[in-house]
Amino acid sequence: MSYNVTIAVAKGRTLEAVRQRWLECGWDWPESSNSRQLWFPPDRARPGLIVARGADIPMLVQRGIAEFGIVGLDMLREHPTDGVLEVLDLDVAHCRLALAGAKMEWPDGPARIATKYQRVARDFFRRRSHPVEIVPLSGSLELAPAIGLAPYIVDVVQTGATLKAHGLYEISTVFHSSARLIANAAVWRTGNGMLSVYEQWKAVTGR
Ligand code: PRP
């Protein structure tokens, strides 16, 4: 019997953490002499694997390119997507989204925030009725205060080492995140072979 399900996994922190769980599921990890290979079709030993940017994972699942996706809650909240269900917390790749700045002080007056989490940051300040100006930045966020782009950032924090290295303080936690298994809602539970793959993840996660 061959697997007929494909899982799209977010590269970086999530992919690294998911590899161990994948092996615990009893599946081969797709190895390749070409480390840049990002698409591994399903075979007899494992489901298919697509490696993509976290921001794109919900869309790949929504369009049925992959039956399942694995992505951080941070990306799911930033990119809410119709037709996609969060089905399991995989309890790996723990991190948090945080408001950070050069001083351990809540912004005084309108807050200028550099972030790639525009929706999440806007919502965070809206709930506090605090005016905010979002400066979209797709990476190297920790540089923003030093170069005068914005005095605050909303970014992922795991160990806190990056903030510390740039002399930044964690002012407030926005929310805690971990890797989530998501599924295409239209085929979830009825899709050929989907339930057994879900049960496998559930077993290794201990949930
Ligand atoms: C995130 C974030 C920081 C770092 C924080 O980047 O932007 O740079 O992790 O981790 P730390 O608290 O352990 O130092 P990530 O590696 O996820 O890459 P990204 O730029 O693609 O988000």
Amino acid at residue number 84: V
Q: What is the mean pLDDT of residues 177-187?
A: 96
Instruction: Check if the beta carbon of residue 151 is closer than 8 Å to that of residue 167.
Output: no
pLDDT in tens, 132-173: 999 999 999 999 999 999 999 999 999 999 999 999 999 999
Both tokens of residue 95? 């991190």
| Rounded distance from Cα 19 to ligand 1 centre (Å) | 19
Mean pLDDT of the chain: 94
More confident residue, 4 or 101: 101
pLDDT band of residue 33 (cuts 50, 70, 90) is low
- CATH classification code of 6-93+178-205: 3.40.190.10
- Enumerate the domain spans of the chain: 6-93+178-205, 95-176
State the pTM of this model: 0.94
Ligand 1 neighbour 10 (Cβ under 6 A): no
Burial of 174 (0-12, 13-18, 19+ CB in 10 A): buried
Residue 60, pLDDT score:
98
| CA–CA distances in Å: residue 34 to residues 37, 39, 40, 201 | 6, 11, 12, 27
Nearest to 123 by CA among 136, 110, 132: 132
Ligand 1: nearest atom to the Cα of 54: 21
Ligand 1 neighbour 151 (Cβ under 6 A): no
Q: What percent of the chain has pLDDT over 90?
A: 90
| Rounded distance from Cα 104 to ligand 1 centre (Å) | 20
pLDDT in tens, 37-94: 899 999 999 999 999 999 999 999 999 999 999 999 999 999 999 999 999 999 999 9
- 35 has a pLDDT exceeding 80: no
User: Into which CATH architecture does domain 95-176 fall?
Assistant: 3-Layer(aba) Sandwich (3.40)
Ligand 1 neighbour 157 (Cβ under 6 A): yes
